[in-house]
Amino acid sequence: MEHRHPILEGAYARDFFHPAAKRTTIAVRNFSVLLAIFGLVVMSGCVGLGKPGIIPSIAMEVTPNPLDFGTVMVGSSATQSVTVSNSGAAKFTLSKVSASGTGFTISGLSAPEVLSPGQSAQLTVVFKPTSAAQENVNLLVAINAQGPQTAGSLKGTGSTSLLSVTPSVIGFGNVSVGSPVTQPLRLTNGGSASVAIKSASATGSGFSISGLTTPQTLTPGESVNFMAEFNPKVAGSDAGTISIVTASSPVNVGLNGVGVSSAPQLVASSTSLSFGNVTIGSSPSLQVTLKNTGTASTDISNVSLTGSSYTLGGVTSKVVLAPDQSAILTVEFDPKTTGSLPGTVTISSNAAGSPIVIQLSGSGTQKSQQQSVALNWDKSSAQVVGYFVYRSSKSSGPYAKLNSHANPDTSYTDSSVASGQMYFYVVTSVNSENIESSFSNEISVTIPSQ
């Protein structure tokens, strides 16, 4: 349940919320009059605050609220964390956080600390009781130029009894609505005399205990195990207490948890796959990761494909993904024709936003043919052992030798040519004494463009 204070109609307002509220929101709105609130002086027609004469809403949330320490032995201490968050649309300065009573100390604030919308500050709260009594105090927060205002409540019970429960506080965290979660506890008599337990009960929406029979007596050193359960019926933050009543002071255990709506949520790592240009006869593949980021199972009811050049693998219809579970969808592109070849993958499920559509694109291209130049010449009339072939990109050279050893054949194939280029060739002969002749007549060859 959310508690808001009335709209501030002047420069000051009291009673921001009831201390028993689970979450605290402090909101400030401005009228078109001169105000001096939170260190701002605003008049109609001001600059930098959006619409003239309007201050953005300031809202603060404290969690958990109340912060319950359960039972702590006198002389001992227990430590928990509390978070102060800016849940509004305007930043504010957190100047002080304190407790209204004894037994509680708060640290961790680097005051003054500016919290922009969405930012939070985590503080440390220590409960060190000095007497066997229940302590209920307010959490006081000062923001901007205001004095301390009630923003939450702190509670805990000091005990001199040697009857203790481990743990003294249970945080269930986020629990799906309709899916109960249990936590074990251990009740121990650490004293030298028997302790009679009269009753045990749990308060707070969705909290209950089981396994602890009352009335019963624990002898010195005896322990008994039992269970605490959180079964939220609606979404939202809840807090409660386990109270174990004895002839002396009761033993309490603080409880807190958050009910979250149970819903599947399917997300894809990509909603488009581009294969680019692919030569006919090749078949590359790409992958998409499908993940259930919700709190309930996602049922993939159908996976369909359009585009004859594509095939699917990895994920099929009738697949169920548990929360946080992933699956890999593989798409293969095997073009049979040239040109653009689009396609789509459609994934239908019980998740919100279904179906997921993944766009596919790719183009088929022909395999390029390697071109070459075949050279032939007449056999030399002199006694030779072979021939060298030279090539240049310019007429009359300079030429580069293509074969490193004299070739006895009167032919040569040049396979290192490029499409659309012109080349100039000459040939020399070499005798047995390794004397090389002068260049032959030059010929030119133009390689066709593909």
CA atoms of 304 and 345, how far apart (whole Å) = 6
Compute CA distances 62 → 2, 22, 254, 411, whole Å. 11, 8, 17, 90
Residues 14, 143: one domain? yes
pLDDT score, position 341: 94
CA atoms of 442 and 426, how far apart (whole Å) = 5
Candidates 126, 47, 42; CA nearest to 80 is 126
Q: What is the mean pLDDT of each run of 10 residues along the chain (450 residues)?
A: 35 36 37 29 29 60 90 83 90 90 90 88 92 87 86 85 86 86 93 86 94 91 94 89 86 91 88 92 92 89 93 89 92 93 94 93 84 91 92 92 92 90 95 92 89
- DSSP annotation string for 185-251: EEEEE-SSS-EEEEEEEEESTTEEEES--SSEEEPTT-EEEEEEEE--SSSEEEEEEEEEEESSS-E
User: Other C-beta atoms within 10 Å of 56: how many?
Assistant: 16
pLDDT score, position 111: 82
pLDDT score, position 19: 37
Residues 7, 117: one domain? yes
Structure-token pair, residue 445: 């060859």
Domain termination site, one of 228, 260, 292: 260
Domain termination site, one of 365, 391, 421: 365
pLDDT score, position 234: 85
- DSSP annotation string for 365-394: EPPPPPP-EEEE-PPPSS--SEEEEEEESS
Residues 241, 118: one domain? no
Residues 233, 146: one domain? no
Residues 255, 270: one domain? no
pLDDT score, position 161: 66
Residues 9, 104: one domain? yes
Residues 98, 237: one domain? no
CA 406 to chain centre: 68
pLDDT score, position 73: 75
DSSP conformation class of 74: T
- DSSP annotation string for 392-439: ESSTT---EE--SS-B-SSEEEE----TT-EEEEEEEEE-TT--B---
Structural domains of the chain, count: 4
Structure-token pair, residue 362: 């790719």
Domain limits at 187? 161-260
Structure-token pair, residue 192: 């030298």
Residues 396, 326: one domain? no
DSSP conformation class of 116: -
Residues 275, 237: one domain? no
For strand 149-159 and strand 67-73, is the pairing parallel, antiparallel, or unpaired? parallel
Candidates 22, 68, 323; CA nearest to 176 is 323
Q: Angle at the Cα of 13 (from 9 to 17), degrees rounded to 5?
A: 120
CA 22 to chain centre: 27
CA atoms of 209 and 202, how far apart (whole Å) = 6
CA atoms of 128 and 124, how far apart (whole Å) = 13
Residues 143, 167: one domain? no
Domain termination site, one of 322, 345, 365: 365
Residues 93, 117: one domain? yes
**Domain containing 358 — which CATH number?**
2.60.40.10
Residues 25, 96: one domain? yes
